[in-house]
Chains A and B, each alone.
Chain A
Amino acid sequence: MYLKEFKFYRPGTLSEALEMLSNAENGALKAGGTDLLVEMKKGLRSYSELISLTDLAELKEQNEDAEFVRLGAGLTHSEILDSELVRKYFPAFAEAVLQIGSNQVRNTGTLGGNLCTAAACCDSAPVLIALDAEVEMMNKKGTETIALKDFFVHNRRTVLKKDQILTTVVVKKCAPHTGVHFEKFGLRQGSAIAVVSVAALLTIEDGLCKDARIVIGAVAPTPMVSYNAINAIKGRPVSDFYEKSEILLAAGKAASEDSVPIDDVRGGAQFRRNVLNTLTQRAILTALRNCNMQNTQT
């Protein structure tokens, strides 16, 4: 366990960072470092240059317009939790972020870092995908925008090119009468890693589930949208959503059939499917409850 020598760069602006990145021979971007430094210490990754993103004010910005909230990729998880915009528009996202690591990890780890590490069990992605979030990636040539659901390629692999920096996560504000919820299953109560996770988003109109998103985590190489689970609930009357109802059982089963989990130290594939089935049903019901609560408030 030791860090091999590397050159350290501390750009003050995004354009400086992009310049350094394109000049680096075997460089990596360093955000919070809570994953990167551990992997470097263990010898799993090695870089000759680290370019720090911590000083870039541009990556700390957060703002909104009528339709979207923009969150800088350099915001730490704690900053996301303290963000009034997040709390106001995406409380379920805050709940998911609160379940990332420990307080110490959340105080240094960043939104962008969590997404770029791209672990299958990543806690921030499922809700964001459910919220139709997009990410902006910048290189010297310009900015590219892509749906977050398409950002992940495989476990620990993304579409981000070598010369690109993930700068912003753009989250669309929810349609009225929308409820969101994140369910996570870990093996202990605190500082747990997701063995299965599910984010559910439901929009209710005229007593029907007009729109829905079900995103499943830690049960495939990347967080993924379970279209079959969505199809199982979309368009169905709200009165059909109750514990163990036919629709919910179908949605749980569909999610579990969409998943492609592996066996690892945290659990077997079939176990993950079983838990996913249950968690999907719970996530949908809680999302619906959140939606109703929102309705009673407005």
Chain B
Amino acid sequence: MKEIVQINVNGTDYEVAVSPETTLLDVIREELRLIGTKRGCDAGDCGACTIIMDGKAVNSCLVLGVEAHGKKITTIEGISNGTLHPLQQAFIEKGAIQCGFCTPGMILRAKTILDKYEDVTKEEIKSELSGNLCRCTGYTKIIEAIESAKDIIQGKKPEEITYAPQKSAMDLSVVGKRLPKIDAPDKATGRAIYTDDIVLPNMLYGKLLLSPVAHAKIKSIDTSKAKALKGVKAVLTGADVPDVSWGTSPPRYDEFILAKDKVRFVGDVVAAVAAIDEATCYKALELIEVDYEELPAVFDPMEAMKDGAPRLFDHKYENNINTRVDHHFGDTEKGFAEADHIREHHFVGNRTYQNPMEPHVAIAEWDRHGRVTVHTSTQVVHYVHHQLSRILGLPLGDIRVVMTHCGGGFGSKAATNYLEILSIFLAKITGQPVKMRFTREEMYLYGRGRHKQYIDLKIGVKKDGTITAVKQKVVLEGGAYSSFGIVSAYYAGSMLTTLYKMPNYKYDGFRVNTNLPPSGAFRGHGVPHPRFAFESLLSMIADDIGMDHIDIRLKNAMVPNYRTCNDLDIGSCEFTACLEEVRRKSDWDNRKGNLPKGRGIGIGCGGFVSGAGYPIYRSKFPHSNAIIKIAEDGSKAVLFIGDADIGQGSDTVLAMAACEAMGISFDRISVVSADSDITPIGFGAYSSRVTLMGGNASKMAGEDIKKQVFEMASEILNVDAGQLQAKDNKVFVKGDPSVSVSWQEAAARYFSLKGPLTGRGHYSPPEGLGGTYKGAAVGTSPAYSFSATVCEVDVDLETGKVKVLNFWDAHDCGTAINPLLVEGQVEGAVVMSMSEVLMENQVFDKKGKLLNADLHNYLMATSADTPEIDSTIVDSYEPAGPFGAKEVGEGATLPILGALANAIADAIGARVYELPITPERVLKAIQSVKNQKK
């Protein structure tokens, strides 16, 4: 029974009829429609739903609406009255906002901290903020922003920091500037619309029935009771949907819309319901009767490969081997024969999950003309578009895919998902819009996280440290379906060659199906575990031959314009500068070997593609495309771009590239991105591709505009267009800036005389990238990033607990279009990787049920775990990139694993070869060394 609850929210009194089981979060979001309060976990672990109640921060998901009666509540919408609160201002300016999903809760919690403690220290902020998880920023800029807001509130003048520009950005007026993100004000005020914030008229909700068993035949499904439940509008099973298989990579389309005859993991999708609300959906799910005949299941990839092991697919993937890679470049036998020292070791990775703060949501709606629109939280509008077109048998033009603001992805939203597909089918059958959303648990079960990899690595070197041969065997634990796995298996091998020159290299890859949630593409896609193994083994070898860990890397460091043994073409490369920079700023030469007991220091390196050289399916479309439209009065530009801003800041970066190309300032542009009806196709945010590819397309569109503006300006100024230059909203004669016309005037005149002023741009990677062998495409890219990181840790030798003190990082991302955002990417990558190395791991019981499918037991680093991070962008220029730019997003994660593992090894005098490096494993390693010495 509903009762009337009186609450004061943001100064306004409300009377709301509330059922006892409705949480305050739902009252705020669904009844009052204050959507700035976010739902991240629904279990009090993430803090995204933080509000202030009677002066105290609380998780509104754990307060009953009826208990808020008589309370005074402040949400993010209530802390600014026209002008921004100092915290909002500081979050925007300091780059503390990426995907923005944690931002409202973070700002409100910060407000209660500053309200209570006037003189709060940095360490106290870090500890007080630990109930608010952020997956993007690494907390560093958030903490900086709170300190800065404290100063603003106390009337202190914030410290002015001057930043030296990169050489390649010296003469540019927009590119190279530390500009706040274009969407940051909306995110700081809670106005940014994420998919779950959308409520359409007459909208239904949908939920999925997931398999409770790991491997079984479906003997029968009875949906009659569920269908009979009041409020249920549709129930679908495998029999009701087309018999079409789908997936991510065309050679491995092996998923069904709903299970056909068989389930392959706990979480496999069996049925879907639509009803008037979510509670009714849940009740209906309980009424669906499925008769399973359980089959033997296999969870370990080594077991799964054995003859006679249970098979997930009867007619393909023999021995459950889903992908087999067999690569040999040069002659490893000869290479090892030439080596003075050879060492090999076995390494094991961990099964980790991206955990973007925003759960996946999709809303589908059909119109009367047979077109369907899907709003979804995705990284890849076009691939969703393409896949839906395949599944539905409709041309692209009859499907509209709209990405709203996306609360982080990291690979978890880099492919089509069940919500997108099934919301469409449910909406079709009911004739009403349908919203479907994952709970945090369902996100883990949908999976597509990092493949756990079992790695055997062997490296041979000369006395002077020169690498002569490398051999790697990797078994990737793939889970039940392919997802991105075929690509992951290739990446795990191909990317070892880009950092160090290696003439001879052999790679054996096995991606193996198991009865667990599918593994997919997680930041660094397939590469972090091999890179962890390589960086660990290289440091071990350096110790063996008495060489400094940085020296051995310098000895083998990649150089510009080099073709690797597996036919990858390295362009710009400032790897050596990265190594020298971290050596200098970490004071490596003085610290290494001279730290007190329990302290350790280590180096790790990394690098990544700046966008995959080839699309995921065979397509001739340019990879990124841009249109710029100038307002008729010439005052503003709008950039239409298909690539997705998932929090990394691509809208900002691409707009900056466009502004620089046009010669206008950043305040004269806005961006519309990732809407298949409105924006031209872009392959989206994956493989660290957007800055380079979307940037080139945006730059080209900007140049197209500039050309047309020059045409007009040349008439106005009566000079040849070839003599003109545009900068800071002015068009002027090169060498004589006094002869000028305002950019706006020239653009307005163009429109008056010639109609719409639009610019077009597109980008495709150079044709024929890479070699001709099977799988040669994976690893190709127009450009490669490089990075080096030194890490310092303090280990409690009696408990094994690791405290990370410092990361000194240097990254070669070419020209940093926006150094503030590059730093944000590095800091976020550092903390995410550190978290993966130290604490993240999915644990299953003997029947394949995930035991830690929440944020309570699957641990991620909090603000309190954040180390000091000192990141440098080295001088570099990449000819293939816009204004010399290349990637940072994924490459920045790669050095962290090795650096941290090497620092821990240095601290404890022993090595942990398996991730995560938990205190338990650290103690074991210490103990085993002690036992050896006895």
Contacts and interface: CB of A to CB of B under 8 A. Distances in A.
Interface of A: 1-8, 10, 30, 32-34, 37-38, 41-42, 50, 52, 54, 78, 101-105, 107-108, 185, 187-191, 193, 265-268, 271, 274-275, 278-279
Interface string B726-744: 0000000000000000000
B66 A190 contact: no
A185 B799 contact: yes
A28 to B, nearest CB: 13
A7 B64 CA distance: 12
Interface in B803-858: 803, 838-839, 843, 851-852, 856-857
Contacts of B44: 34, 38, 101, 104-105
Interface string B37-52: 0000011110100100
B859 A104 contact: no
Contact of A52 (B62, B67, B439): B67
Given A103-B57, A104-B47, A104-B50, A191 B21 contact: no
Contacts of A107: 56-58
A103 B63 CA distance: 15
B839 A105 contact: no
A103 to B, nearest CB: 5
A271 B127 CA distance: 26
B128 interface: yes
Given A34-B44, A103-B128, A265-B851, A1 B439 contact: yes
Contact of A190 (B57, B130, B923): B130
A274 B62 contact: no
A6 B21 CA distance: 7
A103 B126 CA distance: 12
A159 B202 CA distance: 51
B64 A278 contact: no
Nearest to A267: B920
Given A52-B64, A190-B130, A191-B131, 20 more contacts: A1-B42, A1-B440, A2-B278, A10-B66, A10-B67, A38-B62, A54-B67, A103-B131, A104-B47, A104-B58, A104-B109, A107-B57, A187-B839, A187-B919, A188-B859, A188-B861, A188-B864, A189-B865, A190-B862, A265-B851
B63 A38 contact: no
B19 interface: yes
A237 B857 CA distance: 43
Contacts of A275: 798-800, 919, 923
29 contacts: A1-B439, A1-B440, A7-B20, A8-B66, A33-B62, A37-B62, A78-B56, A102-B131, A103-B109, A103-B131, A104-B44, A104-B50, A104-B57, A105-B44, A105-B59, A107-B57, A107-B58, A108-B58, A185-B799, A188-B864, A190-B126, A190-B127, A190-B130, A190-B131, A191-B45, A191-B131, A268-B920, A274-B923, A279-B799
B441 A1 contact: yes
Contacts of B803: 189
Contact of A5 (B21, B441, B843, B861): B21
A189 B864 contact: yes
A83 to B, nearest CB: 15
Interface residues of B, number: 59
A243 to B, nearest CB: 11
B392 interface: no
A190 B127 CA distance: 6
B610 interface: no
B560 to A, nearest CB: 41
Contacts of A279: 799
B279 interface: yes
B918 interface: yes
A46 to B, nearest CB: 11
A101 B439 CA distance: 22
Given A104-B47, A189-B865, A6 B20 contact: yes
Nearest to B56: A107
Nearest to B133: A191
A33 B67 CA distance: 11
A17 B63 CA distance: 20
B282 interface: yes
Contacts of B130: 102-103, 189-191
Q: Most chain-A Cβ atoms within 10 A of its Cβ — which of B21, B22, B57, B863?
A: B21
A1 B21 CA distance: 12
A278 B798 CA distance: 7
A189 B919 contact: no
B23 interface: yes
Given A103-B109, A187-B919, A8 B20 contact: yes
Contacts of B128: 103
Contacts of B800: 271, 275
Given A52-B67, A187-B839, A104 B59 contact: yes
B801 interface: yes
Given A3-B23, A190-B864, A41 B43 contact: yes
Q: Which 10 A-B pairs have the closest CB atoms?
A: A102-B131, A190-B130, A190-B864, A8-B20, A190-B862, A189-B864, A3-B21, A271-B920, A278-B798, A107-B56
A42 B843 CA distance: 18
Given A54-B67, A104-B58, A187-B918, A265 B852 contact: yes
Given A5-B20, A271-B919, A188 B131 contact: no
Contacts of B50: 104
Contact of A4 (B21, B45, B47, B132): B21
A32 B44 CA distance: 12
A34 B47 contact: no
A107 B440 CA distance: 23
Nearest to A52: B67
Contact of A191 (B43, B57, B278, B862): B862
A80 to B, nearest CB: 14
Contacts of B22: 3
A190 B919 contact: no
B830 to A, nearest CB: 15
A283 to B, nearest CB: 13
Nearest to A105: B44
Contacts of A266: 857
Contact of B839 (A3, A8, A33, A188): A188
A37 B67 CA distance: 13
Interface string B858-878: 010111110000000000000
Interface string B486-529: 00000000000000000000000000000000000000000000
Interface string B265-287: 00000000000001100100000
A271 B439 contact: no
Contacts of B1: 7
Contact of A108 (B23, B63, B839, B857): B63
Interface string B10-24: 000000000111110
Contacts of A193: 856
Contacts of B801: 185
Nearest to B128: A103
A188 B865 contact: yes
B64 A37 contact: yes
A278 B109 contact: no
A268 B920 CA distance: 8
A188 B862 contact: yes
Contacts of A267: 918-920
Q: Most chain-B Cβ atoms within 10 A of its Cβ — which of A1, A191, A265?
A: A191
A99 to B, nearest CB: 10
Nearest to A49: B20
A165 to B, nearest CB: 18
B64 A8 contact: yes
A5 B19 CA distance: 8
B31 to A, nearest CB: 16
A274 B919 CA distance: 11
B865 A105 contact: no
Contacts of B839: 187-188
A41 B67 CA distance: 17
A271 to B, nearest CB: 4
A7 B58 CA distance: 23
A207 B803 CA distance: 37
